[in-house]
Chains A and B, each alone.
Chain A
Amino acid sequence: MGIGTFIVVSLIKIVIAVFVLLTAVAYTTLLERKVVAHIQNRWGPSRVGPFGIWQPLADGLKFIFKEDLTPPYANKPLYLAAPVIALVTALTSMAVIPIGPWITVGSIHTPLQITDVNIGLLVILGITSLGVYGAALAGWSSNSKYSMLASLRASAQMMSYEIALGLSLIGVLILAGSFSLRDIVDSQSGTWLGFIPRWNLFKGQFVAFFIYIMAAYAETNRIPFDLAEAESELVAGYHTEYSSMKFAMFFMAEYANMFTVACLASVLFLGGWSGPVFGPPIVQSLMPVFWFALRVFAFIFIYIWVRGTLPRFRYDQLMAFGWKFLLPLAIANIVVTSLVVALK
């Protein structure tokens, strides 16, 4: 494929990916409000459209028309940069996530992924590790004690759990022998005995999966680890002083990060897009994407379910859990996995 075609195809893929991601983000807020409402025996949003399906649209409009306040004595450049950093890093990590196999449209043969790099996993880890700056700078530049405390908490928490998160992925890397997310998915194809899928989860990586989920919840600042925005202590967290679209950008970044985490879980542990494929050719080419979306949806649903069920940790419990339990467990998982692979 020529350079011109390549650029056009890439641009189309990027536009579609961003559109789908942002729509999914908007509707996850509705899903969250609905599911949590039903867990608490309420109805949730029900006024805007049937079952409240236009609620995200109304919320978006509301965000746009809110007054955009900048607190006095804020460090203006950093105050403006922080939400941009948070959102950009959250959206960029989607670029290397594969959502399906190669497809052929006309004469163009292309993977269902914006770009397939051979260090895909490291790219995601690198970009998400830069996302911490959004939280850190937001709190520091708003010149408010609530924001400041929350951003200290958030950055300490993200740094601590990033280690456990990174270590939990090494078992998968040992099994797959590659950093490329596409290769990792391909290494999980096929079944045992005709019905047990050869997912990394069933190849003995369930401990790693557990560590990954725990660390990912902490990384994305979600309940039960949402110490950074504990509203009973810190008003609203590091974005206390933000209003209007700047607040919305933090909000979108949080949900986009949830999607990155969910996609990564599907790719690394749950076999990516593998699943039964049948029907006419056009359906067959889109079935893998459906299976992938189903896994992501399940993961997001569990996120919301946990939010509706569990109370918040205390800060010292959070740190002790990360450093004294998850980290040693992740290291033990690496040792056991590499022993098994070496002795096989």
Chain B
Amino acid sequence: MIALSVAAALAVFLLYTSIAGGGTPSLRPSTLSGHAGRVSVAGVVLRPITGDAHGAGLHFRLRDKNGTATVPVVYTGTVPDAFKAGGDIVVDGRYMNGVFTAIPGTLITKCPSKYTPKKTS
């Protein structure tokens, strides 16, 4: 009886994840092309960072963590504290006409590593 119920529960959520289209694809700037809908892109922030996230939009380029491909990003909404050039971020949005237009408020920065050594000056 227990086994049956557990199996039923498992079936329910497996169904949900596959039907609801599951989650958002996690991509890098180099793998962006070809994806039409809402996606998540992760990468390193590059200078120059211009504009106003609470105004017309913050403009910067995002580069592959381990690569050279870059993509221009336009973002409005809350900017987390740790956001700066050279930092790792993840942001949701849509890739259209060569520009990644972000969904407001979806920018997340990776916490400066607790567990990796920081470069001592």
Are both chains from one complex?
A: no
Q: Please list the residues of chain B having a beta carbon within 8 angstroms of any beta carbon in chain A.
A: none
Q: Please list the residues of chain A having a beta carbon within 8 angstroms of any beta carbon in chain B.
A: none
